[in-house]
Amino acid sequence: MAAQPKSDAMLTIPETAERLRCSENHVYRLIASGDLSCTDIAQRGSRQPKTRVPETAITAFINARTTNARRLRATG
């Protein structure tokens, strides 16, 4: 069953890592590889990014990576 987003919330990197049950570094790697979408909400010219991950991006990532038994049998 596909995970459903709870809201249009924008999560911090630590919150995203907690939701995915992985490290913050892993979240940054997923973002860098393009597997997980994010938004920088910092003001223009800010020296520090304020990276946020939309909850819908987390749901899309989970759905893209979720397999079912039929798919596993086809590849196995």
pLDDT tens for 43-76 read 999 999 999 999 999 999 999 999 875 665 666 5
Residue 1 pLDDT class (50, 70, 90 cuts): very low
What is d(CA 56, CA 62) in angstroms, rounded to the nearest whole number?
10
Q: Using the structure block, give the residue that is written with the tokens 């939701």.
A: 19
Sheet architecture: strand order including 10-11: 10-11, 51-54, 39-40
pLDDT tens for 5-56 read 456 899 999 999 999 999 999 999 999 999 999 999 999 999 999 999 999 9
Domain ranges across the chain: 10-75
Strand partners, 10: 54
pTM metric for this prediction: 0.76
Residue 5's pLDDT is 47
